Amino acid sequence: MKKLGFLMAVAVSCMVNAQVITGIVLSKEENKPVPYANIGVEKDRLGTVSDASGKFVLDVSAVDQRKNIRVEIAGYEPFSMNVADFIRQNPHQIVLNEKVTHIKEVKLSPKKLVDKNWGSNTKNKSVNYIVNPEFNKESFFGETALQFTTKKRAKIKRINLNVAQFNSNEPVVMRYSIYSDENNLPGKSILQEDITAELTADQIKDGVFSLDVNDRNIWVQGKFYVGIQFLKAFDGNVRLSAALFKTGYLRQFYGDWEKVSIAAPAINIDVKVDKTAKNESDESSDFGSNATAGKVLHLNDADIYYESYGKGEPLFLLHGNGGSISDFSKEIPELSKHFRVIAMDTRGQGKSTDATTEPLTYIKFADDVKALADQLGMKKINILGWSDGGNTGLEFAIKYPDRVNKVITSGANVVPEGLGDQEVQNMKNEVAAKVAQHKPESEIRLIQLMIDEPKITKEQLNNIRAKVLVVAGENDMILPSHTEYIAKEIPGSEIKIYKGASHGVPVERAEELSKDVIEFIKKK
């Protein structure tokens, strides 16, 4: 698609009675098939993708014929036609003009560009985003996107996908898309041409599939989204490393984008940032991999990695299961203006190691927090804990009441059933599957932790002396009744439910949460 004014034609025939549309997507000028175009119904989850030969089949029998058919692929103006008209006109051609974009050349000295990596870098093998065509054929062609933010202009050099397992003897065809922001959701594509790749086992290096897009001249600024879509069914499955509780965005073809915060695939990008811009990037601090701020506490059975920012009253940040310091990337800049922030990777997660073999416990995690506070000479600390980190914060307040001032929990639970019986059963099933597949114990222990723990009693909650702010999202995976129970049983505690938020409050409501944390800790 290098020539401007390039045209695409869709030759379509249909079986009117069954209302099954069949066709082929062609480029008019060169009369060649156009593979992997999205064909679907506007404002609907129904759709398909043309194959490598440009052919497609779409059953619109159950579709409201007042809706429109849409054909779309990066670099072309989208085509739209009423479903009823689309069915009646047989055969016919649909001609799309290629988008004509005049791109101003950007010339920057290499000295003015800084290399950065943004996004999710987890190589978690225990939490996976599973791509399996046979598991759910309807949702297989759906698209997943992650949000990024930068106040400086940046050029995307590479898109990286962390792959935990690749189980296919054939190439897995996928597409990357880059979207602008519209009302905090993915908007229009900013690409000038389609980015399609074939993923094979030999292309995965150290658990990462990296695609060079430097020559695509993709510049971004402000909020933007990187999306991934699998385009062709295959035998087998692919397991992508996933960041637990990180916010992602999902849609099926031309249906609405939906925000989800259970787990998002580990997509990250290598960029060149224009350091001459006036504002600093929101993503540029490299929290979780900052060599200047990072140190290691060496224990007998673990090395605990942590980073320190700011000055003042100590505030420990404790991430969720399978997470890392980077989960608080949106909070650290603001919180470090008011407190000495100590962000730590929990043992066996992030950059922290764990040499133990016995089952993990939140009490053990709390002991690690105390050990780090001791090392830093901190007699009394505050804690902001997300999910598992909130559980650890409560265990710390119970075991070390004289060492804690205030605790803020987001999406915490005090017994496994706080997640709901079905969620607990799902985790048991996942552990059983991993055991049957002889997966490493390290992959199993973190999930088993959530099945077995915590075991905090009502009496223990009643005896907590620290001031506690209990936070949860309105649509949190923790049962609302359980969150209310925790707040009710801790004397003098406060509770806040973030309207419209899920379990991912620290990601979805970072600015509001930071403000609430600051006010809560500073309040006498």
Cβ atoms within 10 Å of 64's Cβ, excluding its own: 11
pLDDT at 183: 85
219: phi then psi, degrees, rounded to nearest 5:
-110, 140
pLDDT at 259: 83
DSSP for 253-291, written as a single string = TTS--EEE-SEEE-EEEEEEEETTSSS--TTTT-TTS-T
Handedness of CA 133, 135, 136, 139 (dihedral sign): negative
Question: Which residue has tokens 């009253």?
Answer: 313
pLDDT at 277: 58
91 and 22 Cβ atoms separated by less than 8 Å? no
Closest by CA position to 78, among listed 64, 53, 98, 61: 98
Low-confidence ranges of the chain (pLDDT < 70): 1-18, 90-93, 96, 100-111, 126-127, 136-139, 244-245, 261-262, 277-285
How does DSSP classify residue 77? Answer: P
Residues contacting 450, CB < 8 A, separation 6+: 321, 388, 416, 419, 427
Q: Crossing angle, helix 388-399 and helix 362-375, to 10 degrees?
A: 70
Read off the tokens for 307. Answer: 């980073």
pLDDT at 409: 98
The CA distances from residue 144 to 123, 248, 249, 347, 360, in Å, are 18, 7, 6, 30, 32
pLDDT at 106: 52
